[in-house]
Amino acid sequence: MALKPVQNNSHPLSDSEYETINHWVIRDKRNTASETEKQRMDAWLKEDKRRWQDAASLDDLLGSDAFSSALRRYEDEVGLTGFKTTGISSPWYAAIACALVLGLASLLYLSAPTQPQAYQTQAGEVAHQALNDGSVLDISADSHLLVNYNHQERHIDLIKGEAQFNVSKDASRPFVVQTRHASLKALGTVFNVDQRRRITELTVLEGRVEVIPARAADRRLILTAGQSVRIQPQGASAVDQFQPSDYRSWQQGILQAHHMPLQELIDELNRYNQRPIRIAPELRSINITGTFRLNDEPGNLNILSSLYNLSAEDKDNTVILRR
């Protein structure tokens, strides 16, 4: 299913809004607008606080000493020795200001922060989401992401859960996935990121991904297709190798555990379970190896009970695992 983003009423100013603001500030500075025009423009600016803020910032800039200095230097360079006026009364004020604000508008457009777009799935729900650059997100159950694209970077915060990223190539804008444990920079690739309580697990299916642990930037590493790693803030585990053609994941309804602590396994299964599973504290660190079907809670409980000598008790619509 395609996932609808969490509703957000914020949006960036349009090019036409920037242009209107730029020309108005110049006219207002030179006192060429009528009182009726001023009242109408004042009302339009106040409709959106970002318009008002942009106009105020530009007004401050055009009234600054730096702008006056630039204007004087320009007059000297073109030989306007006959003019003794500078600043707003300069005959070149409007022309230079227009050139400046057009450049400034471009700069603001390129650097202005955009509003992050949130995508969220519920327990048992998965989603397929195309992004505006051609990249594709496949989002696992009970997961939450914030997508923030601007002209310098494509940035995604994986707040919780798991997702697979099929990244469209764009050398001018890095694609970065941030978790609590690391920053993951895609180098034109397909990769899966699973953020758990204490670790982030990265699995690279195509291309390369640069890993930068949150508190150990000097211990960065690059993974290629067929490699996976478990990452903590202070560093990464040894890199594991696998055959991408043999890889099975949540997208096939499968969870493959390799020496996974039982608490991590339960957290993963609970994303899909109708009834949550809880375990006794003394069982949390038991290492589990096996293959589990995400939509088969009874079968998974039977595997755990049989292989690890555990008992399952149904209490208040919750399953309790004990020994």
**pLDDT, tens digit, for every residue of 123-167?**
999 999 999 899 999 999 999 999 999 888 999 999 999 999 999
Q: How far is CA 276 from the centre of its chain?
A: 29
**Helix locations, the chain, DSSP H:** 15-29, 35-46, 49-62, 65-77, 93-111, 262-270, 297-308
- pTM, whole model, 2 decimals? 0.65
Q: Which amino acid is at 311?
A: S
User: In this predicted structure, what is the pLDDT of residue 213?
Assistant: 93
Q: How far apart are the first and last CA of the chain?
A: 40
User: In this predicted structure, what is the pLDDT of residue 66?
Assistant: 59
Per-residue model confidence as pLDDT tens digits over 45-100: 888 877 887 778 777 766 666 566 655 665 555 554 444 444 444 444 455 555 55
Query: How is 108-169 classified by DSSP, letter by letter?
Result: HHHHPPPPPEEEE--TT--EEEE-TTS-EEEE-SS-EEEEEE-SS-EEEEEEEEEEEEEPPP
User: In this predicted structure, what is the pLDDT of residue 129?
Assistant: 94
Residue ranges of the chain assigned to CATH 2.60.120.1440: 117-245
User: In this predicted structure, what is the pLDDT of residue 299?
Assistant: 94
Assess if CATH 3.30.470.160 describes domain 117-245.
no
Mean pLDDT of the chain: 82
Assess if CATH 3.30.1640.10 describes domain 253-322.
no
Per-residue model confidence as pLDDT tens digits over 17-47: 777 887 777 666 556 678 888 888 888 888 8
User: In this predicted structure, what is the pLDDT of residue 228?
Assistant: 95
